[in-house]
Structure 1
Amino acid sequence: MSLNPEKAILSTRPELFDFHGVSMTHYFTDNWENVQNFQARPDDILIATYPKAGTTWVSQILDLLYFGQTCPERHNNIPIYERVPFLEIAIPSLDLGKDLADKLPTTPRLIKTHFPVQFVPKSFWEQNCRIVYVARNAKDNMVSFFHFDRMIAIQPEAGEWNNYFHRFLEGQMVFGSWYDHVNGWWKKKQNYSNIHYMFYEDMIEDTEREIDKLCSFLGLSRSAEERKMISGGVQFDKMKKNEMANYSTLPVMDFKISPFMRKGKVGDWKNHFTVAQNEVFDEDYKKKMKDPTLQFRTEI
């Protein structure tokens, strides 16, 4: 990836606009047609998440599961955003995500997206690709997104917390409403069997167990020792220090404001939500989360 730090650190934050019913910014729609025409292959694996729900974590796990033994040097030399390209991203000074995905030399290709389910290029469905979706409880997801928006130049300004809190509830976020996103993918899973729907909280609770489930979904047989090693290698504190996984080499992020990997905890929302906000949130949540089969934990 060719980087020009001067150009890459962008001076003005983008504005949100309505794009086919979803709040987006131009960095994720500028290459829309090419992205929609992306040619998936049957063995591609798509990692799909709402932003800040464990995308990088699962990307690193999958990359280690597939290539940890055969090409260990990948993980020391190639940043995660090149090993697992972000399909829809289009920043003028960086390589297009779609081009990076097209050029991936690996089999399978691991590709990430934050698209709501209706935006996924149709070739992924036509090729019956396997999709790993990760969901995180809305309270922690909101807090993580807030700190992320504070430090990244390609997102709208975070502004102050109370205003951000209400924006999140209204779905005025890049990639739209958290509620629409997690529910849309959950619904799709009911009629498309190749989606493995994971929860961030389960991964925190028992990473090894969730890696076992992933292996079973992907049809991978890895020794208990290897799975244990991967689970140990992807613990939050290790990944936070790993320059090839923590995005510290990407110039659009300002780590002086906040690190890309901040806390990785379940329940950090309690340090941000006021009692009143929590009540407003819980009321709103009851109205929007109608499907009793989709359950989240806000603490473990």
Structure 2
Amino acid sequence: MARLDVTETFHSFMFPGHMHTQDSLNYATNFKFQDTDTVIVTYPKSGTTWMQEIITLVLNKGNPTVAQTTPNWARAPWLEQCYATDILKASTGPRIITTHLPYHLLAPALQHSKAKVIYVARNPKDVSVSYYHFHKMANFLPDPGTFSDFLIDFLKGAVHYGSWFDHVKGWTSNKKDIQNFLYITYEEMCQDIQGSIQKVSHFLQCPLTEDELILSQKHCSFNSMKENAMVNYTLIPQEIMDHSKGKFMRNGKIGDWKNVFTEEQSRLADDVYSSQMADSSLLFKWE
């Protein structure tokens, strides 16, 4: 299924047609969650791969075998992508499910479920830079043009998967309606990975010994994941994801936006943030 130049529109949101169809998106929004499911929810480029790795390691008590032998899209499939149906039907035991869908599209399916939802948020300035570089290497996403052009579209929400602001506010402002909800930031994971792993293991009711915690921390480090073909997307054919144009895992740091943004772009992003997030009670610590 190539469809590299196709954009699928669903409820006014744009999705890459390469892995999304009307059928797959309808399947996701009508999905029957199980109480044993763990659902990773992110806006793109917000720490999705990292959280997939952390959960895999926590559930396996730090043993890296699954993380090093099974691609992350097979062990934690994206619910809205067309291949997920077969994987999830064949799954036995607790499932890890990933999604970029906004809250209002998935809320009806989650309404009566005890599935555990982990929402990962990241500084939108860093998201915009990472997303821009991803567009340059992912042939199933439109040409982003200059970063200046892309940033304007990103701040308007005129990109695939919609507005970062709406996504974060949608999920976090409705967390009271989700029975089991954990909110964590990419920055928190960068600054205290051990504490973040412990927080996830506690939430999943899967306590780790000190040795298991150390093993988990070792195998979900940026350098470990960068070398792991199961998570660095080097298994994907070059015509779909061109690694000659960039790396899927670039640097794993916070604050990279400072190397890209002009002062004017930073002020613009700050102004849009202040306006869009005025009705949000979230207090972000980006640095």
TM-score normalised to structure 2 length: 0.92
Residue 103 (str. 1) matches residue 90 (str. 2)? yes
Residue 20 (str. 1) matches residue 6 (str. 2)? no
Q: Does the 8 Å CA contact 2:39/2:99 hold for their aligned counterparts?
A: yes
Percent of residue pairs identical: 35
Aligned to 1:297: 285
Offset from partner CA, 1:119-178 (integer Å, 9 cap, x none): 216343322211011000100011011111111122222221110010001001111100
Q: What amino acid is aligned across from residue 104 of structure 2 in structure 1?
A: Q
Q: What amino acid is aligned across from residue 249 of structure 1 in structure 2?
A: L
SS of 1:61's partner is: helix
Aligned to 1:184: 170
Distance in structure 1 (CA, Å) of the matches to 2:48 and 2:248? 12
Distance in structure 2 (CA, Å) of the matches to 1:171 and 1:20? 14
Match of 1:205 among 191, 194, 197: 191
> Size of the alignment, in residue pairs?
283
Match of 1:119 among 105, 124, 131: 105
Residue 276 (str. 1) matches residue 264 (str. 2)? yes
Residues 17-96 of structure 1: pairs in structure 2 closer than 5 A: 17=9, 19-26=10-17, 27-30=19-22, 31-68=24-61, 72-90=64-82, 96=83
4+ residue runs of structure 1 moved beyond 4 angstroms? none
In structure 2, the gaps of 5 or more residues are: none
Give the CA deviation at 1:212: 1.1
SS of 2:226's partner is: helix
Distance in structure 2 (CA, Å) of the matches to 1:16 and 1:108? 30
Distance in structure 2 (CA, Å) of the matches to 1:41 and 1:191? 17
Q: Does the 8 Å CA contact 1:150/1:257 hold for their aligned counterparts?
A: yes
Give the CA deviation at 1:220: 1.6
Distance in structure 2 (CA, Å) of the matches to 1:169 and 1:283? 10
TM-score normalised to structure 1 length: 0.88
In structure 1, the gaps of 5 or more residues are: 1-6, 91-95
Distance in structure 1 (CA, Å) of the matches to 2:118 and 2:159? 22
Aligned to 1:222: 208
Distance in structure 2 (CA, Å) of the matches to 1:294 and 1:29? 33
Q: Does the 8 Å CA contact 1:41/1:124 hold for their aligned counterparts?
A: no
Match of 1:246 among 232, 237, 253: 232
Distance in structure 2 (CA, Å) of the matches to 1:127 and 1:193? 7
Give the CA deviation at 1:68: 4.6
Distance in structure 1 (CA, Å) of the matches to 2:25 and 2:280? 34
**Which stretch has the larger CA shift, 51-60 or 242-251?**
242-251
Distance in structure 2 (CA, Å) of the matches to 1:29 and 1:166? 27
**Which stretch has the larger CA shift, 188-197 or 116-125?**
116-125
Q: Does the 8 Å CA contact 1:53/1:141 hold for their aligned counterparts?
A: yes
Q: What amino acid is aligned across from residue 285 of structure 2 in structure 1?
A: R
Residue 258 (str. 1) matches residue 249 (str. 2)? no
Distance in structure 2 (CA, Å) of the matches to 1:121 and 1:293? 20
Give the CA deviation at 1:25: 3.8
Q: Does the 8 Å CA contact 1:41/1:127 hold for their aligned counterparts?
A: yes
Give the CA deviation at 1:72: 4.8
Distance in structure 2 (CA, Å) of the matches to 1:80 and 1:199? 20
Offset from partner CA, 1:2-47 (integer Å, 9 cap, x none): xxxxx65x6x533474x32433343434322222332221101111
SS of 1:48's partner is: strand
Q: What amino acid is aligned across from residue 130 of structure 1 in structure 2?
A: K
SS of 2:142's partner is: coil
CA RMSD of aligned residues (A): 1.9
Offset from partner CA, 1:49-78 (integer Å, 9 cap, x none): 000100010011101111256x75322321
Q: Does the 8 Å CA contact 2:27/2:80 hold for their aligned counterparts?
A: no
Residue 171 (str. 1) matches residue 163 (str. 2)? no
**Which stretch has the larger CA shift, 159-168 or 147-156?**
147-156
